[in-house]
Amino acid sequence: MSEMYDVILVGGGPAGLTAAFSAQQNGAKKILVLERDREPGGILQQCVHNGFGLHHFKEELTGPGYAQRCYDLVKDLPEVEILVDTMVLEVRKDKTVCAINPKRGVMELHGKSIILTMGCRERTRGAIRIPGTRPAGVYTAGAAQRMVNMEGYIPGKKIVILGSGDIGLIMARRMSLEGCKVQAVLEICPFSNGLTRNIVQCLNDYDIPLHLSHTIVAIHGKDRVTGITAAKVDDKMRPIPGTEFEIDCDTVLLSVGLIPENELSNGLGLKMHPLTGGPIVDQRRETSEPGIFAAGNVVHVHDLVDFVSDEAEIAGKFAAKAALGEAGGAARDLAVTTGDNVRTCVPQHLRLGADAEKVRLFMRVTKPMRGKLKLSVMSGGEEVFSKPLMIAKPSEMIAVDLPEAKIASLSSELVVSLTEGK
Amino acid sequence: MERKTDVVVIGGGITGTAILAALARLDLSCVLVEKEPDIAAGTTKANSAILHAGFDAPTGSMKAKMNVEGNRLYYELREELNLDIEWTGSLVCATTDEEKAQIEELKARGDANGVPGLEIWDGDKARGKEPNLSQKICAALWAPTAGICWPFGMAAAFAENAAENGAEILRDCEVTGIRAENGGFAVETTQGTVQARFVVNAAGVFADKVAAMAGDTSFSIHPRKGEYILFDKTAQGKLVKGIVFPAPTKTTKGILVCATTHGNTFIGPNAQEQDSREDTAVTTPGMDEIIAGAKKLVPELPMGAAITEFAGIRAVSDTNDFIVGESKTVKGLYHAAGIQSPGLTSAPAIARLLADEIAKAAGAKAKADAKTGRPAQPIFRELSSGEQAKLIEKDARYGRVICRCETITEGEIVDAIKRPCGARTVDGVKRRTRVGMGRCQGGFCGPRVIEILSRELNIPVPKVRKDGADSYMYEEKLGGGRK
């Protein structure tokens, strides 16, 4: 099988489906979504809780509900073909996609544009080097979530959760609802890495203790987890001797971070950003390789799928334009860099032509801040944009729109920073 | 259940399986008993995975003889059993004049042990081979015959070959007693009694306990733990492509930096004497120690690319040498005990030696129709796209990738379960196919592998185990419970 497509999407989660729809809306005629799972929708299918869609669909949906909305956008479109159970093994610079599935075997597909929408994966026990034995009963929160919500099994009855990322918090509530006892959530940072609403709704409402500045210093048990030793950590996140205490449990769930899944991007030799862990993109979500775009968690990990959809719409639109030869030139290439208190900002650069459009910046701050804050975007010593904020947390991505009028006149690099007001 | 056989081999590690494969080529019936749910579940699964050249052990020791002979045999077995071995050669690095004198001593010992091709290199030549080595390294001992290997795969290969030749392998089968009976032995196990003329003790860290059950208390085994950190494939460019040792200490070959046959790299092991024969916990001081040790060889370690840590227990005998051969006190009992490093390398030599002794004692001859190989094991990621297409056409399950990090298909997983002495646990599948060994460490594929095991073994999901006897992974939702 060797065919030419306008746009090929690698990954059929919310990013891939939304980008496919956007590409179709912008004129692409032959669009292919490749999904390795048995059905499209991505990880949302196992996120049976609600709280999705408030920004993008303006209503509250469950994860599967949100996934269904994304699927509904494209399922009846003749321009969009979806292949499930299909694994992409390689994407080449000439925009050939090598994939396999049980029905069609080995496929070589060709796209005028490619959009990378592979999502992200969970950081593991090994990556954070938790000492102790290696018994059954230690799972990433996402793997356990799949078993509980999709396969119908529980990982154990007495649970300790390491990491207060959103998946960990959601699983604390989920396990409580399943009748299990969640003994504690431990967080190595002095602040939680989850959304505030999840701290309230998933821990406080269930009287689950959250130990900030704590970590697991040993996992016990030969064949199955029998308990853990916890300890307080200092400001360099090293365990403080003498602060250890034991917690009885049969299960440890890890929610210690997400990593953009970029094996294919690395295989392509795309320029990557060391802090986001994803490809460097411009405002159209085009990577360092012409005609290859990226959107969603593969670019940078989002906390809300709504922003994934926003970003996917952008990528889909410009991938379609590129495929149709309507991309337009880019006379200016301006870097977007981070200043005070801003850790990451996507896109990392703007490639601007005659047809300036509004540009949305997605950023994460370095530490929790409160008070009279000011988010500013400077260019050539002048303020292009500013916005007052009351609160900023590393766990909550900030999105701002730079107005069209300002974009047209930009001529030097942009610096994004967050400062405390007087 | 009662069984009757010529030989019982106790222990399904690399030593036991190699012995079983050698015995199964004789006209003897043999049974291997392993207390864990799968073979290769002890020291064999957690060691440096190196086929040593043979310059470490004192000349004339059993370790030296078995090492050099075992290394040579693996050159033949690699083809015969399709073993995962890369003959990378090894470097022992010196950073001071004192250490340089030490490696010169090692070379002299190696020459005396019969190790071919040893050379002393200067630091630059060593860095020419391994560019990330420390500038402080001033000399190195190059041993071209050393190699890296896949120990689980090798133990599985021995077991499969043995099974092809009629040997029986009982897993989840712990020996609880050994009695002398009818001029032979009655070996009591958790799966009933096995009557046998000969018993081979390859019980690893429990070898002294097994010997004592049969009435031989002539030696004791001391557990020595070694911890490791494994790095993702992407980090290999910053580490090494082969085997790099420091100058050795009295007790160990030191903390090394070493590649694996699948493109990963590890650092370790340290050497921690302990009482427990089963405590494989990794510790913070242990990890700090191996990081510090490895930095002496490769100063810039990509710690962010670490994907897992583990520890193994070496079985050190009180003679500090291998104990191989018939027991001095119990006739018909044969030991392969105290098999610490270089045990992996020595396994085929030990197997040959014991099989020869037992053949002589039993008056056994080689089976006329003994098979030398094992069933082919398709490895999808290593095939050309044409071969991949053909394989998927034949069996569609090869078109479904289960492990994304390592590109392992459902076809390979089912094969691993259905092979002779096939996988019965999640880690057993992992050890035969590498499923879950990549950077996500089973985060995505874990639930899928459980589902496939449940289906292929026809057991409910809550009966699927990770590795050890009681390592059940998931339970029925409350109200159900494990049945």
Contact between residue A112 and residue A97 where contact means Cβ atoms under 8 Å apart: no
Beta bridge partners of B472: B465
Q: By residue range, what is the domain housing residue B289?
A: 90-144+222-317
For residue B138, give every residue at least 6 positions away whose Cβ sits within 8 Å of its Cβ, in sequence order, or none: B94, B95, B96, B97, B100, B122, B123
Q: Are residues B299 and B435 in the same domain?
A: no
> For residue A366, which phi and psi values (nearest 5 degrees)?
-85, -30
Domain membership of residue B21 (yes or no) is: no
Provide φ and ψ at B120, rounded to 5°: -100, 125
Check whether A349 has a pLDDT greater than 80: yes
Mean pLDDT of chain B: 95
Interface test with A, best of B400, B470, B476 (most A CBs within 10 A): B400
The reply to whether B24 falls in a domain is no
The label of the residue with tokens 């100058």 reads B247
Are residues B261 and B406 both part of a single domain? no
Please name the member of B286, B407, B439 whose beta carbon is closest to the beta carbon of A89. B407
Half-sphere exposure of B323 (CA within 13 A, CB side): 29
Helical packing angle, B446-457 and B426-433, nearest 10°? 100
Q: What is the spatial distance between Cα B416 and Cα B453, in angstroms, rounded to a whole number?
A: 10
B285 lies in a domain?
yes
DSSP β-ladder status, B3-10 and B30-33: parallel
Q: Collect all residues of chain B within an 8 Å Cβ-Cβ radius of residue A85.
A: 400
Q: Which residue has the tokens 């050939």?
A: A96
Query: A121–B471: do the CB atoms touch at under 8 Å?
Result: no
- B306, B405, B475 ranked by CB distance to A129: nearest: B306
B275 and B394 assigned to the same domain: no
Determine the Cα–Cα distance for residues B154 and B167; give it in Å rounded to an integer: 17
Where among B296, B317, B338 does a domain terminate?
B317
Q: Answer whether B400 sits within 8 Å of A102, measured CB to CB.
A: yes
User: What residue has token string 């005028």?
Assistant: A112
* Maximum alpha-carbon separation in chain A: 66
Establish if B219 touches chain A: CB-CB under 8 angstroms.
Answer: no
Q: Indicate if B228 and B312 belong to the same structural domain.
A: yes
* Interface confidence (ipTM) of the complex: 0.92
pLDDT digits (tens, 9 = 90+) for A353-407: 876 688 999 999 999 999 999 999 999 889 999 999 999 999 899 999 998 888 8
Helix (H, G, I), strand (E, B) or coil at A85: coil
CB pair distance less than 8 Å for B281 and A217: no
CB pair distance less than 8 Å for A136 and B471: yes
Is B139 or A195 the better-scoring residue by pLDDT?
B139
CA atoms of B366 and A288, how far apart (whole Å): 64
- Given this model, what pLDDT does residue A405 score? 84
Contact B265/A at CB under 8 A: no
Inter-residue contact A123 to A256 (CB < 8 Å): yes
- Is the predicted pLDDT of residue B480 greater than 60, yes or no? no
**B414 lies in some domain:** yes
Residues 73-102 of A with CB under 8 A from B: 85, 87, 89, 98, 100-102
| Co-location of B124 and B226 in the same domain | yes
What is d(CA A169, CA A172) in angstroms, rounded to the nearest whole number?
A: 5
Cross-chain Cβ contact B404/A36 below 8 Å = yes
Beta bridge partners of A375: A387, A418
Tell me, yes or no, whether B165 lies in a domain: no
> Which pLDDT tens digit goes with each residue over B320-340?
999 999 999 999 999 999 999
Q: ∠ CA B37-B40-B46 to the nearest 5 degrees?
A: 120
Examine the pLDDT at A252 and tell me if it is beyond 70.
yes
Residue A408, pLDDT > 90, answer: no
Residue B37 within a domain: no
Residue whose structure tokens are 């429990």 = B206
A137 contacts on B by Cβ (under 8 Å): 473
Q: Identify whether residues B226 and B313 lie together within a single domain.
A: yes
Specify the CATH number for the domain of residue B440: 1.10.10
In the DSSP assignment, the letter for residue B309 is E
pLDDT of the residue at B482: 44
B347, B311, B300: which is closest to B202 by C-alpha?
A: B347
> pLDDT tens for residues B412-437?
999 999 999 999 999 999 999 989 88
Claim to verify: residue B289 and residue B391 sit in the same structural domain: no
Burial category of B91 from C-beta neighbours within 10 Å (exposed 0-12, middle 13-18, buried 19 and up):
buried
Domains contained in chain A, CATH given: 1-121+258-327 (3.50.50.60), 124-256 (3.50.50.60), 329-422 (2.60.40)
Contact B310, A125 (CB under 8 A): no
Structural domain includes residue B105: yes
Nearest to A223 among B400, B462, B468 (CB): B468
Contact B468 A147 (CB under 8 A): no
Residue range B200-209, pLDDT digits in tens: 999 999 999 9
- Predicted TM-score (pTM) of the model is 0.92
A89 vs B277: CA distance, rounded Å: 43
A40 neighbors A147 (Cβ within 8 angstroms): no
**B223 prior amide bond cis, ω within 30:** no
How does A363-395 read in b/e, with b if 16+ C-beta sit within 10 Å? Answer: bbbeeebeeebebbbbbeeeebbeeebeebbbb
Residue A1 pLDDT more than 50? no
B262 is an active site residue: no
Question: Are B312 and B228 in a shared domain?
Answer: yes
Measured CA to CA, the distance from residue A353 to residue B358 in angstroms comes to 83
- Are B262 and B387 members of one domain? no
Tell me how many domains chain B contains.
Answer: 2
Q: Minimal CA–CA distance to B246: which of B375, B98, B450, B60?
A: B98
Evaluate whether A112 touches A290 at the Cβ level (below 8 Å): no
Nearest to B235, CA basis, from B303, B183, B308 = B303
Give the model's confidence band at B481: pLDDT under 50 very low, under 70 low, under 90 confident, else very high: very low
Give the A:B interface size as CB pairs under 8 Å: 144
Identify which of B291, B243, B248 has the alpha carbon closest to the alpha carbon of residue B133. Answer: B243
- CATH number of the domain bearing residue B256: 3.30.9.10
Checking if the pLDDT of B479 tops 70, the result is no
Test B392 with A154 for CB contact under 8 angstroms.
Answer: no
Question: Cα separation of A283 and A213, whole Å?
Answer: 37
Q: Are residues B299 and B387 in the same domain?
A: no
The interface residues of chain B toward chain A in range 383-402, judged by CB-CB distance below 8 A, are 385, 388-389, 392-393, 396-401
A285-340 pLDDT, tens per residue?
A: 999 999 999 999 999 999 999 999 999 999 999 999 999 998 877 778 999 999 99
Block residue for tokens 């494989």: B280
A18 touches B: beta carbon within 8 Å:
no
Q: How far is A224 from chain B (nearest CA, A)?
A: 5
pLDDT at B272 exceeding the cut of 70: yes
In the predicted model, what is the mean pLDDT of residues A275-280?
Answer: 96
More reliable by pLDDT, B69 or A195: B69
Instruction: Tell me whether residue B227 is in a domain.
Output: yes
| Nearest residue of A to residue B463, measured between CA atoms | A153
Claim to verify: residue B299 and residue B386 sit in the same structural domain: no
Do B288 and B395 belong to one domain?
no
The tens digit of pLDDT for each residue in A110-156 reads: 999 999 999 999 988 877 889 999 999 999 999 999 999 999 999 99
DSSP B52: -
